[in-house]
Amino acid sequence: MIKTISVLGVTGSIGTQALDVIKNNPEHFKLGAISAGRNLIKLEEILADFNPPLVSVQDDSAVKELKSRFPHIEFMSGDEGLISVATYDSNLLLTAILGSVGLKPTLAAIDAGIDIALANKETLVAAGEIVMNRAREKNVQIIPVDSEHSALFQCLKGENEKEISNIIITASGGSFRDLSREELGSVTLEDALNHPNWSMGQKITIDSATMMNKGFEVIEAKHLFDVEISQIKTLLHKESIIHSMVEFIDNSIMAQLGNSDMRTAIQYAFTHPERLHKNNPLSVSELSQLNFKPMDFDRFKMLKFAYDALEAGGTLPTVMNAANEYAVGEFLGGRIKFLEIEEIVESRMMQHENIQNPDLETILSLDARYKSNMR
């Protein structure tokens, strides 16, 4: 059977790598509906190459011109467009859009009974309980695309979750892993965007440098695998070869290894529970060493914030995520220094009066307020 795969965020790093996977396997996958943000040059290349049936863009002002250039394609925009793409008749929706704007379309796809290949981790950070409960109600699968969670998902295949002792999420340490906190005071945007192992979109590269990304992954793991918070460990592993591990009650540890190539995890999310051939093997015999170091929570404060937010529950993770989205935008725009990202996130978390068991409206309203820095 050829699977139809729709993609939110098709012009981004994950989105374009997903297109490689689809293009390399035409006998298995076909592109469904897609959404882009504002990168219309990239989008037009994709339209010429794939000819998708339905396309959504961020700004309505772009629709007229696109329609005139591609008259056989249906174009939409904004939230309505994202929801139409998400609910387009597909076998799977890849959520590769950036940030909590992915939340509403992801919920709409779940309501429509469409399985999700989830890259957009901010959705689970902002509203993990609502998303996972809705997926359980609708019997929809949430298949992780993040390399760490794909690794855990693969290590847990066929296992009894009651026999998990710990899950161990590895962290490369990001662009500044070898710098002290004092040295972080003078780093530049260019330095921050220079990730040692992975080529990714700008926001996640900054989130990796602050270690907020690892914090998001801890929260994501809690929602995906339903383990106790105390069972979620993080470990520095600078080579990014072991993507994560599961330790079982009999002390056996299962690990998943691979190159730093997101196409492996994307492809697995598309083929699960099966596997497909892929070119880019890891040559284990050439690995000279794998290094590990315990996580230093004083050095990587943002990771500690994420554990705190997860422990507190309620709306604190939503606020942390939205404040981070705002602060990273300010840093990318050159308006604040690197360490101010964590100062902003910490201060918003401290000021927030936590609300337990929030409904979707509350989450969306807090998200919008903190993302635009209106507290």
Binding site for ligand NAP (CB under 6 A): 9-15, 35-39, 58, 96-98, 101, 119-122, 146, 198, 200-204, 262
Does the annotation place 146 within a ligand binding site?
yes
Angle among Cα 148, 151, 154 to the nearest 5 degrees reads: 150
Q: Which residue's CB is nearer to ligand NAP, number 130 or number 266?
A: 266
Cα distances from 300 to residues 166, 181, 230, 325, in angstroms, run 21, 9, 18, 18
In 3D space, the residue among 153, 145, 138, 151 whose CA is nearest the CA of residue 124 turns out to be 145
Q: Which residue's CB is nearer to ligand NAP, number 18 or number 236?
A: 18
Omega before residue 317 within 30° of 0, cis:
no
Does the annotation place 39 within a ligand binding site?
yes
Does the annotation place 217 within a ligand binding site?
yes
Does the annotation place 313 within a ligand binding site?
no
Q: Which residue's CB is nearer to ligand NAP, number 4 or number 172?
A: 172
Angstrom distance (rounded) from CA 112 to CA 367 = 24
Please report, as a single letter, which amino acid is at residue 318. Answer: T
Does the annotation place 11 within a ligand binding site?
yes
Shortest Å distance, C-beta 320 to ligand NAP: 14
DSSP 163: G
Shortest Å distance, C-beta 368 to ligand NAP: 12
Q: Which residue's CB is nearer to ligand NAP, number 261 or number 346?
A: 261
Beta strands in the chain (DSSP E): 3-8, 29-35, 54-57, 74-77, 92-95, 115-118, 142-144, 164-171, 232-236, 242-248, 253-257, 293-294
Through-space distance between the first and last CA atoms of the chain, rounded to whole angstroms: 50
Does the annotation place 23 within a ligand binding site?
no
Shortest Å distance, C-beta 294 to ligand NAP: 24
Shortest Å distance, C-beta 130 to ligand NAP: 17
Cα distances from 65 to residues 44, 48, 53, 280, in angstroms, run 11, 15, 17, 39
Q: Which residue's CB is nearer to ligand NAP, number 180 or number 280?
A: 280
Does the annotation place 14 within a ligand binding site?
yes
Shortest Å distance, C-beta 43 to ligand NAP: 6
Q: Tell me the binding residues.
A: 11-14, 37-39, 120-122, 146-148, 172, 195, 201, 208, 213-214, 217
Q: Tell me the binding residues for 1-deoxy-D-xylulose 5-phosphate.
A: 121, 147-148, 172, 195, 208, 213-214, 217
